[in-house]
Amino acid sequence: MYIVTGGAGFIGSAFVWKLNEMGIDDIMVVDNLSTTEKWKNLLGRRFDDYLHKDAFLETLLEDGLPPGIQAVVHMGACSSTTEVNADYLMGNNYHYTMSLCHYCLEKNIRFINASSAATYGDGSKGFSDDDAGMRSLRPLNMYGYSKHLFDLWASRHGLLNIIASLKFFNVFGPNEYHKGDMKSVVCKAYHQIKETGKMRLFKSYRPDYPDGGQKRDFVYIKDCVEVLWWLLQNPEINGVFNLGTGTARTWNELAKAVFKAMEVPENIEYMDMPESLRDKYQYFTQAEMEKLAQAGCPVEFTDLEVAVRDYVTGYLAQDDPYL
């Protein structure tokens, strides 16, 4: 059995799709469906069981999980960068992950964790996933700090040679539709352009970046699940790894790719950034990918324009936009 926490969420449900594609359906999905439309990500997916995240943790702590678990792919977390309840994030993102990691180590179960590029803060400390520089990082929000704390804990206890933790950069692609304000700009742009014929981007508040010139490392969900699958097949590969493309692109380039994929004339409007975000905004992210490559990962990352076209034409423009 394979357990995927956050299995109805964006990355988690995409990985369930990948497991199904590889002929695997002995899967337990762990999540919190609540009143969201995450359940739609599971339509057409094959899995044995679903457990609410609280029931799963209780069962785990009581040692009541079934035998024969091959791996836990822990994608479950509150991923909102604007969440202000620090106690909630400490419990849901940090302590929950610690408990799950402890269990996997005791039972000799492969453990793959979702960290985040939000751990890098404003990027002034660089974007190296080398263990040595981990303690110098200063996340800009509580979400990033909750992810950073687990990586620090794993490093402090010498666990990074037996577990894998992935720092996801700006992931986009099908199955993110339930994420509200946390949806990718590609997804938001498609609907904006379809409704208004234009796309809105934040203005820049730094003289070294023009409006729309802020840069991100955008990575396609299909590439992310290929990396997860490779790690599942290679349990000897462990540590903290960046998961981006290694190439930063501007929001303007992203916007142009969406307009081109939709075959609509470019029309970009720049809007004021909320004051609450201005001192927490990342102007540049770019994953250093040498560590993953040196570990032998064979995944070739999709060019931004190709990935955007696949997402727009193959999913967003379809009646059924799910994987």
Tell how strand 71-74 and strand 110-116 pair up: parallel
In the residue annotation, 215 being an active-site residue is answered as no
Q: Residue 36 has which token pair? A: 């969201």
In the residue annotation, 179 being an active-site residue is answered as yes
3-state secondary structure of 178: helix
Q: Which residues contact 46 (CB under 8 A, 6 or more apart)?
A: 20, 25, 27
Q: What is the distance between the alpha carbons of residues 27 and 126, in angstroms, rounded to a whole number?
A: 37
Is the Cα torsion angle 148, 288, 301, 187 positive or negative in sign? positive
Is the Cα torsion angle 46, 49, 51, 57 positive or negative in sign? negative
Residue 126 φ/ψ region, left for φ over 0, alpha for ψ in the -120 to 50 degree band, beta for the rest = left
Question: Helical H runs in 234-268?
Answer: 251-262
Q: Determine which one of 125, 179, 183, 198 is catalytic.
A: 179
Q: Determine which one of 96, 143, 220, 315 is catalytic.
A: 143
3-state secondary structure of 166: strand
Tell how strand 215-216 and strand 249-250 pair up: antiparallel
Burial class (CB in 10 A: 0-12, 13-18, 19+), 286: buried
Residues that are catalytic: 143, 179
